[in-house]
Structure 1
């Protein structure tokens, strides 16, 4: 597929300024952290009941983000942590030659914005890959709540540690795996995250394009397409555009584990 054809099929990104985003009215909160259906995946995960109830005092609002809009951009001041309630986001950086480098994908129940903790400014841009909804949690208020709770302090530290682990995982993908191992690892990761949300781990729809997958895995678009085709020929997958059906989960797992062993 030519670059011109790919650009024609890719919807342009429509960025909104932080002031405009904050000025938009937040939806009335009808669900607290303690009663949210995503609490076992999101910020309250692993907390005791009293600490989760403490989170109910957080002052945050919900906002909807349309597909192609940026929730925040690299270089903007860090003030807020975002919990994804629905939809999928990609995090990306702009490298020296102007190309986009995808650094991660976030799904419902996952947190975004922690990249701003180190320097006080976001290191990446978060863009909605589909219509999405987020909870915006002011970081300063979260710190105020955690000051009186050692358990909450521990959870915040774990969140920061999770970012480090994610970076190390990406380095492993880009530094030591071939194309098949990288794509198998990516699909297995999506499968596990789907299962954790009560969705099918073997059949799902990818919200990201193959070009975005390639950017994340350090592979050319042609290599991503060729590797998908190889997995289909091996009987591992059935692929219909972005719809994926894993036919042999054990064999796909072996493809990934070969390098680790």
Structure 2
């Protein structure tokens, strides 16, 4: 893991290869979830010229740190990340898990500096988007601006739902809702909605949900015993989605 703040990585980017960038945006499996959605070919080319480069981020490497100056958005092309803040005891409070097709850094737009830290959960890759250049495009490309507003609105709504629901849920409901959330997000990306791998550890899941790691392990084991899921280390299969949804709503048919 790099010991340097993300803001200190100031080496010159490689020369921009527009053909490679065009292929990466236009052919990227995530483009319907990212900024290029709905753009015509001319607008797509203008956006591709703004993208600095694709950046590889190793597992456990920091993409940006708390209070780093904001000048870049990051579109996740491959991999998974976690975002977190530091609690008064010096530990981490995980605020979210992000995956391919999502933007990182939007929380810093208003403040001008990052309000949390972002770390890769596995070897990942992001597209760097200088925000000042993106703002210039917004003035000429209303479709791009609408898409950006849509993404910000969805992110705000998602965070509000998480805050409202997790705070009033039982431990069992939290775990069911967490698995269903991952299921729907993977499905929207063209992946299986019932078979996936947990990229985060049991400890990280517990931190995010406000549960002890022992509770996370016990809940997964109980779901497995009841036939709702199959789990083998980080590999998960959701065997009974209707029951899992009922549990998340507090209507546990197995109780």
Q: TM-score, normalised by structure 1?
A: 0.87
Could you tell me how far apart the structure 1 residues matched to 2:163 and 2:15 are?
Answer: 39
1:121 aligns with 2:113: yes
1:23 aligns with 2:28: no
Instruction: Please tell me whether the aligned partners of residues 7 and 69 of structure 2 are also in contact (alpha carbons under 8 angstroms).
Output: no
Query: By how many angstroms is 1:43 displaced?
Result: 1.4
Distance change (3 Å), C-alpha of 1:256 and 1:35: same
Deviations 1:49-93 (A, max 9, x none): 554344233232111111011000111111000011111100011
Which residue is equivalent to 1:249?
A: 241
Match of 1:87 among 79, 83, 89: 79
Question: How many residues of Structure 1 are paired with residues of Structure 2 in the alignment?
Answer: 247
Query: By how many angstroms is 1:206 displaced?
Result: 0.7
Q: TM-score, normalised by structure 2?
A: 0.89
Which residue is equivalent to 1:166?
A: 158
Could you tell me how far apart the structure 1 residues matched to 2:249 and 2:38 are?
Answer: 29
Moved over 6 A (4+): none
Which residue is equivalent to 1:211?
A: 203
Which residue is equivalent to 1:180?
A: 172
Query: By how many angstroms is 1:26 displaced?
Result: 4.6
Q: How does 1:9-158 map to 2 (within 5 A)?
A: 13-23=1-11, 25-26=13-14, 29=17, 30-32=20-22, 33-47=25-39, 51-158=43-150
Instruction: Please tell me whether the aligned partners of residues 38 and 143 of structure 2 are also in contact (alpha carbons under 8 angstroms).
Output: no
Distance change (3 Å), C-alpha of 1:28 and 1:242: farther
Instruction: Please tell me whether the aligned partners of residues 27 and 63 of structure 1 are also in contact (alpha carbons under 8 angstroms).
Output: no
Could you tell me how far apart the structure 1 residues matched to 2:83 and 2:7 are?
Answer: 20
Instruction: Please tell me whether the aligned partners of residues 96 and 208 of structure 2 are also in contact (alpha carbons under 8 angstroms).
Output: yes
| CA RMSD across the alignment | 2.0
Instruction: Please tell me whether the aligned partners of residues 28 and 62 of structure 1 are also in contact (alpha carbons under 8 angstroms).
Output: no
Which residue is equivalent to 1:202?
A: 194
The 3-state SS of whatever aligns with 2:127 is: strand
Match of 1:223 among 215, 223, 231: 215
Distance change (3 Å), C-alpha of 1:15 and 1:107: farther
1:232 aligns with 2:220: no
Bigger mean CA offset, 137-146 vs 214-223: 214-223
